[in-house]
Homo-oligomer: A and B are copies of this chain.
Amino acid sequence: MAYSEKAIPEVAQRRLPRYYRYISELKSKGVSRISSAALSREMNVTASQIRQDFNYFGGFGQQGYGYNVESLYEEIGHILGLDKKDSMIILGAGNLGRALANHAAFARRGFELRAVFDSDPNKIGKRVNKVEVLDIAKLGEYLSDNKIDIAILAVPKGVVPEIYEVLKENGVKGILNFAYMEIESDPNLPIENVHISDSLMMLSYRIKQKGIE
Protein backbone atom coordinates (compact mmCIF):
# COMPACT_ATOMS: atom_id res chain seq x y z
CA MET A 1 0.00 0.00 0.00
CA ALA A 2 1.39 3.39 -0.90
CA TYR A 3 2.50 5.59 1.97
CA SER A 4 -0.07 8.22 1.04
CA GLU A 5 -3.04 5.98 1.71
CA LYS A 6 -4.95 6.09 4.92
CA ALA A 7 -3.70 3.65 7.52
CA ILE A 8 -5.92 0.62 7.91
CA PRO A 9 -7.20 0.23 11.48
CA GLU A 10 -5.69 -2.72 13.29
CA VAL A 11 -9.15 -4.00 14.21
CA ALA A 12 -10.16 -4.09 10.55
CA GLN A 13 -7.00 -6.01 9.70
CA ARG A 14 -7.79 -8.56 12.36
CA ARG A 15 -11.19 -9.14 10.85
CA LEU A 16 -9.71 -10.37 7.59
CA PRO A 17 -9.34 -14.06 8.50
CA ARG A 18 -12.94 -14.15 9.60
CA TYR A 19 -14.09 -12.67 6.31
CA TYR A 20 -11.93 -15.17 4.52
CA ARG A 21 -13.51 -18.00 6.45
CA TYR A 22 -17.04 -16.96 5.59
CA ILE A 23 -16.27 -16.25 1.97
CA SER A 24 -14.51 -19.55 1.54
CA GLU A 25 -17.62 -21.18 2.99
CA LEU A 26 -19.84 -19.36 0.48
CA LYS A 27 -17.52 -20.35 -2.32
CA SER A 28 -17.65 -24.02 -1.40
CA LYS A 29 -21.44 -23.79 -1.29
CA GLY A 30 -21.37 -22.55 -4.86
CA VAL A 31 -22.60 -19.03 -4.10
CA SER A 32 -21.22 -16.76 -6.79
CA ARG A 33 -22.16 -13.29 -5.61
CA ILE A 34 -23.08 -11.68 -2.32
CA SER A 35 -24.13 -8.23 -1.20
CA SER A 36 -22.80 -6.55 1.92
CA ALA A 37 -26.35 -6.77 3.31
CA ALA A 38 -26.56 -10.54 2.83
CA LEU A 39 -23.08 -11.12 4.21
CA SER A 40 -23.88 -8.91 7.16
CA ARG A 41 -26.75 -11.21 8.10
CA GLU A 42 -24.55 -14.29 7.97
CA MET A 43 -21.68 -12.77 9.88
CA ASN A 44 -23.59 -10.72 12.39
CA VAL A 45 -21.87 -7.45 11.63
CA THR A 46 -23.26 -4.34 9.94
CA ALA A 47 -23.26 -4.07 6.16
CA SER A 48 -21.66 -0.71 6.60
CA GLN A 49 -18.70 -2.20 8.38
CA ILE A 50 -18.26 -4.80 5.68
CA ARG A 51 -18.20 -2.15 2.95
CA GLN A 52 -15.81 0.02 4.95
CA ASP A 53 -13.51 -2.90 5.62
CA PHE A 54 -13.44 -4.15 2.05
CA ASN A 55 -12.75 -0.62 0.98
CA TYR A 56 -9.72 -0.30 3.18
CA PHE A 57 -8.26 -3.16 1.20
CA GLY A 58 -9.23 -1.86 -2.19
CA GLY A 59 -12.99 -2.06 -2.69
CA PHE A 60 -13.65 -5.30 -4.52
CA GLY A 61 -17.32 -4.68 -5.21
CA GLN A 62 -19.45 -3.34 -7.97
CA GLN A 63 -22.38 -0.97 -7.55
CA GLY A 64 -25.74 -2.54 -8.13
CA TYR A 65 -24.24 -6.03 -8.11
CA GLY A 66 -22.42 -6.66 -4.87
CA TYR A 67 -19.28 -8.71 -4.48
CA ASN A 68 -18.16 -11.59 -6.62
CA VAL A 69 -17.43 -14.44 -4.22
CA GLU A 70 -14.67 -15.99 -6.28
CA SER A 71 -12.73 -12.78 -6.75
CA LEU A 72 -13.31 -11.71 -3.15
CA TYR A 73 -11.87 -15.04 -2.07
CA GLU A 74 -8.80 -14.55 -4.21
CA GLU A 75 -8.28 -10.93 -3.25
CA ILE A 76 -8.49 -11.55 0.48
CA GLY A 77 -6.41 -14.70 0.16
CA HIS A 78 -3.80 -12.64 -1.62
CA ILE A 79 -3.87 -9.92 1.03
CA LEU A 80 -3.41 -12.57 3.69
CA GLY A 81 -0.47 -13.92 1.74
CA LEU A 82 -2.07 -17.33 1.29
CA ASP A 83 -0.94 -17.56 -2.32
CA LYS A 84 2.60 -17.74 -1.05
CA LYS A 85 3.06 -21.25 0.41
CA ASP A 86 4.99 -20.46 3.56
CA SER A 87 7.35 -23.08 4.90
CA MET A 88 6.85 -23.94 8.52
CA ILE A 89 8.43 -25.82 11.39
CA ILE A 90 6.98 -26.81 14.72
CA LEU A 91 9.00 -26.58 17.91
CA GLY A 92 7.94 -29.18 20.41
CA ALA A 93 6.66 -32.69 19.62
CA GLY A 94 4.50 -32.90 22.71
CA ASN A 95 0.75 -33.35 22.59
CA LEU A 96 0.07 -29.89 21.24
CA GLY A 97 2.96 -29.92 18.78
CA ARG A 98 1.82 -33.23 17.33
CA ALA A 99 -1.78 -32.05 17.15
CA LEU A 100 -0.68 -28.96 15.25
CA ALA A 101 1.50 -31.03 12.94
CA ASN A 102 -1.59 -33.00 12.04
CA HIS A 103 -3.84 -29.98 11.70
CA ALA A 104 -5.24 -30.37 8.21
CA ALA A 105 -6.39 -26.76 7.98
CA PHE A 106 -2.79 -25.57 7.82
CA ALA A 107 -1.94 -27.51 4.68
CA ARG A 108 -5.27 -26.53 3.16
CA ARG A 109 -4.34 -22.87 3.53
CA GLY A 110 -0.99 -23.36 1.84
CA PHE A 111 1.30 -23.72 4.83
CA GLU A 112 3.89 -26.40 4.35
CA LEU A 113 5.25 -28.27 7.35
CA ARG A 114 8.93 -29.10 6.93
CA ALA A 115 10.06 -30.46 10.27
CA VAL A 116 9.26 -30.84 13.94
CA PHE A 117 11.85 -30.31 16.67
CA ASP A 118 12.15 -31.75 20.13
CA SER A 119 14.80 -32.41 22.74
CA ASP A 120 13.52 -35.83 23.81
CA PRO A 121 15.78 -38.62 22.41
CA ASN A 122 12.75 -40.92 22.29
CA LYS A 123 11.03 -38.59 19.89
CA ILE A 124 13.96 -37.54 17.74
CA GLY A 125 14.08 -39.57 14.55
CA LYS A 126 10.43 -40.54 14.67
CA ARG A 127 7.93 -39.11 12.22
CA VAL A 128 4.93 -36.89 12.84
CA ASN A 129 2.53 -36.48 9.97
CA LYS A 130 5.22 -37.49 7.49
CA VAL A 131 7.90 -35.12 8.68
CA GLU A 132 10.85 -36.04 10.80
CA VAL A 133 11.35 -35.04 14.41
CA LEU A 134 14.77 -33.41 14.62
CA ASP A 135 16.99 -32.61 17.55
CA ILE A 136 16.24 -29.13 18.80
CA ALA A 137 19.95 -28.68 19.55
CA LYS A 138 20.46 -28.58 15.80
CA LEU A 139 17.80 -25.94 15.17
CA GLY A 140 20.24 -23.15 14.27
CA GLU A 141 22.12 -25.38 11.91
CA TYR A 142 18.90 -26.54 10.26
CA LEU A 143 17.66 -22.99 9.79
CA SER A 144 20.84 -21.85 8.12
CA ASP A 145 20.47 -24.69 5.60
CA ASN A 146 16.71 -24.38 5.09
CA LYS A 147 14.67 -21.28 4.42
CA ILE A 148 11.86 -21.36 6.95
CA ASP A 149 9.17 -18.69 7.02
CA ILE A 150 7.14 -19.57 10.06
CA ALA A 151 7.95 -21.25 13.36
CA ILE A 152 5.23 -22.56 15.64
CA LEU A 153 6.18 -22.61 19.29
CA ALA A 154 4.64 -25.45 21.25
CA VAL A 155 7.25 -25.84 23.95
CA PRO A 156 7.25 -25.29 27.71
CA LYS A 157 7.66 -21.64 28.55
CA GLY A 158 11.03 -22.14 30.19
CA VAL A 159 12.78 -22.74 26.90
CA VAL A 160 10.98 -20.03 24.94
CA PRO A 161 13.53 -17.19 25.28
CA GLU A 162 16.42 -19.36 24.15
CA ILE A 163 14.56 -20.77 21.14
CA TYR A 164 13.28 -17.33 20.28
CA GLU A 165 16.84 -16.05 19.92
CA VAL A 166 17.80 -18.88 17.59
CA LEU A 167 14.73 -18.27 15.42
CA LYS A 168 15.37 -14.56 15.30
CA GLU A 169 19.02 -14.89 14.40
CA ASN A 170 18.32 -17.35 11.64
CA GLY A 171 15.88 -15.45 9.50
CA VAL A 172 12.54 -16.91 10.53
CA LYS A 173 9.93 -14.40 9.42
CA GLY A 174 7.13 -14.96 11.88
CA ILE A 175 6.23 -16.91 15.01
CA LEU A 176 2.99 -18.46 16.10
CA ASN A 177 3.36 -18.83 19.84
CA PHE A 178 1.33 -21.30 21.88
CA ALA A 179 3.59 -21.19 24.89
CA TYR A 180 2.17 -19.69 28.04
CA MET A 181 4.46 -16.72 27.77
CA GLU A 182 3.88 -13.69 25.72
CA ILE A 183 6.68 -12.77 23.39
CA GLU A 184 6.80 -9.19 22.37
CA SER A 185 6.50 -8.61 18.72
CA ASP A 186 9.61 -6.98 17.33
CA PRO A 187 8.67 -4.85 14.30
CA ASN A 188 10.84 -7.10 12.17
CA LEU A 189 9.59 -10.39 13.52
CA PRO A 190 5.82 -10.53 13.88
CA ILE A 191 4.47 -12.84 16.54
CA GLU A 192 0.95 -14.04 17.07
CA ASN A 193 0.31 -15.30 20.54
CA VAL A 194 -2.38 -17.93 20.97
CA HIS A 195 -3.42 -18.24 24.57
CA ILE A 196 -5.81 -21.12 24.92
CA SER A 197 -6.03 -20.69 28.67
CA ASP A 198 -7.10 -17.08 28.20
CA SER A 199 -10.04 -18.23 26.10
CA LEU A 200 -11.06 -20.69 28.75
CA MET A 201 -10.82 -18.03 31.45
CA MET A 202 -12.88 -15.67 29.32
CA LEU A 203 -15.49 -18.37 28.95
CA SER A 204 -15.54 -18.91 32.68
CA TYR A 205 -15.99 -15.17 33.15
CA ARG A 206 -18.86 -15.00 30.70
CA ILE A 207 -20.60 -17.95 32.34
CA LYS A 208 -20.32 -16.18 35.64
CA GLN A 209 -21.63 -12.88 34.24
CA LYS A 210 -24.79 -14.48 32.97
CA GLY A 211 -26.08 -14.91 36.50
CA ILE A 212 -25.22 -11.38 37.53
CA GLU A 213 -26.59 -9.12 34.85
A-to-B contact residues, CB < 8 Å: 1, 3, 13-14, 16-18, 20-21, 44, 79-82, 84, 86, 94-96, 98-100, 102-103, 105-106, 109, 111, 149-150, 173-176, 180, 182, 184, 187-188, 190-192, 194-208, 210, 212-213
Contact = CB atoms under 8 A, between A and B. Distances in A.
A148 to B, nearest CB: 12
Contacts of A111: 200, 204
B176 A200 contact: yes
Given A81-B208, A95-B98, A203 B180 contact: no
B21 A198 contact: yes
Contact of A200 (B44, B79, B192, B198): B192
B188 A192 contact: no
A25 to B, nearest CB: 9
Given A96-B103, A174-B207, 9 more contacts: A16-B201, A17-B195, A18-B182, A21-B180, A80-B208, A95-B99, A100-B196, A106-B197, A194-B196
Contacts of A16: 201-202, 205
A191 B200 CA distance: 10
Contacts of A99: 94-96, 98-99
Nearest to A1: B212
A113 to B, nearest CB: 12
Given A1-B212, A96-B103, A106-B197, A14 B174 contact: no
